[in-house]
Amino acid sequence: MKKFVELIQRVHKERFSVVMNKIAAEQIPIAFLSLEPVADAIQIVNNLRENGANVTTLITLYNSVSQKLKINFNIVHIDKVSTMHPRPEYIFVTSFLEARVAIKNLPYCKTLNIDKGNTDHIYQTFMNHLLDLQEVYESLIDDNSKRTFYGYWLSRISNQMSEIVYSNSAHYLIAGFIPKQGAITFDAGVFDGGTATVFSEMGYKVYGFEMDRKNFEKVKSIAEEKNFVIENLSLGSYKHTMRYDAYGNSGSKWNNKGSEITQVTTIDAYVREHNLPSVDFIKLDTEGSELEILKGAKTSIARYKPILAISAYHKFDDFWVLMNFIKSIRPDYEFAMRHGAETPEEEPRNISQEYADSLYALGLEPQIRYFGECVLFAR
């Protein structure tokens, strides 16, 4: 309870709009860290200054600065930031990668991702659902889960990436929530088959579902090679047809005005029609339709109590709605939470060797890190 109250206090104090208003009103000196070429970074600084920000220092990775550029602030190379005096209280960045560089090199400063913009709507969601969120927080079974919860909400409301607690585990697998070999596994949102491949290689019998036909066509050969079933179907709460936006990437999702049509089935129906003896593990990452899929799996969840790994970040109310629904089926479930980061092994499509090498050159682990990406685990 004490930590949850502390979170509420920090959310009040460190809300992005509150901090930005304070910085402007008190003309607090700030630094801007940029990975852009110096001329482009200078233009951004000038724009910030024209809008009232007291940017006194530009931190850059580039060694040379043209003498023709007119500046009235300091330019400091990243290698020299440890000797900066006075050290800035705040560092502005405009990307997640810049935030990682700032956090690594100036860990005692507060790094604000100004590109993410106003967070007052997230703050209002948090404040309007304190009792729901407190119940979720108190239902989490381990300290790592509670730190993850704490860091998620504080980072989303403050735009401070340093508050996120990233998991060292694979995205949908953590200790204590790993099925036994031979587990009958449902993977909803297969996309390129990366997670289904991992599950199959761990000895699970995988049934994958991918509604986007472009993705399905790409992954068919992988499914055959890696020995998992792939269905060009969507999962939901009942059998019907549904329109969706077809992007041919991981962002495809239901949309009543979408250009494509998918057939929707349910986990319960699929289990029944294919005479599956059990359901041992369900992984869901379906761009916001996770609750509908759980509704269509009520019988399987009640009967078999499968381990669940559910993306809980597509909607803010996922944090409490998903947990409450699972509890309504089986009150004896236990819950954990982790915040994932994409690694080359799990997401090779997003992290090329060239990009990984550039991260190594910055002294960073080859991962892509974002706000969000929280997974709710249940057992």
- Distance in angstroms (rounded) separating the CA atoms of residues 282 and 179: 10
Cis status of the peptide bond prior to 86, with omega within 30 of 0: yes
pLDDT tens digits for range 43-101 = 999 999 999 999 999 999 887 665 566 788 889 988 888 888 888 999 999 998 899 99
Q: Which residues contact 349 (CB under 8 A, 6 or more apart)?
A: 192, 194
By the 10 Å C-beta count (0-12 exposed, 13-18 middle, 19+ buried), 143 is classed as exposed
Which parts of the chain fold into alpha helices (H)? 2-14, 16-26, 38-50, 96-105, 120-128, 130-139, 143-158, 194-201, 213-226, 267-273, 290-295, 298-304, 318-329, 353-361
- Distance in angstroms (rounded) separating the CA atoms of residues 115 and 99: 11
Contact 79, 106 (CB under 8 A): no
- Distance in angstroms (rounded) separating the CA atoms of residues 149 and 89: 26
- Distance in angstroms (rounded) separating the CA atoms of residues 262 and 268: 18
- What are the chain's domains? 2-116 (3.40.50), 184-378 (3.40.50.150)
In this prediction the pTM is 0.90
- Distance in angstroms (rounded) separating the CA atoms of residues 27 and 59: 19
As beta bridge partners, residue 186 has 207, 282
Q: Find, among 341, 333, 327, the residue nearest to 374 by Cα.
A: 341
- Distance in angstroms (rounded) separating the CA atoms of residues 221 and 250: 18
Q: Which residues of the chain have pLDDT under 70?
A: 64-69, 248-251, 342-362, 364-368, 370
- Distance in angstroms (rounded) separating the CA atoms of residues 309 and 379: 9
**How wide is the angle at C-alpha 359 spanned by C-alphas 357 and 360, nearest 5°?**
65
Helical axes 120-128 vs 2-14, angle rounded to 10°: 150
- Distance in angstroms (rounded) separating the CA atoms of residues 26 and 104: 27
Task: Please report the pLDDT score of residue 246 as a whole number.
Answer: 75
Task: Please report the pLDDT score of residue 358 as a whole number.
Answer: 63
374-378 and 307-311 beta bridge pairing: antiparallel
Tokens of 64: 């040379």
Task: Please report the pLDDT score of residue 170 as a whole number.
Answer: 82
DSSP state of 145: H
- Distance in angstroms (rounded) separating the CA atoms of residues 264 and 237: 8
Return the half-sphere exposure (C-beta side, CA atoms, 13 A cut-off) of residue 336: 21
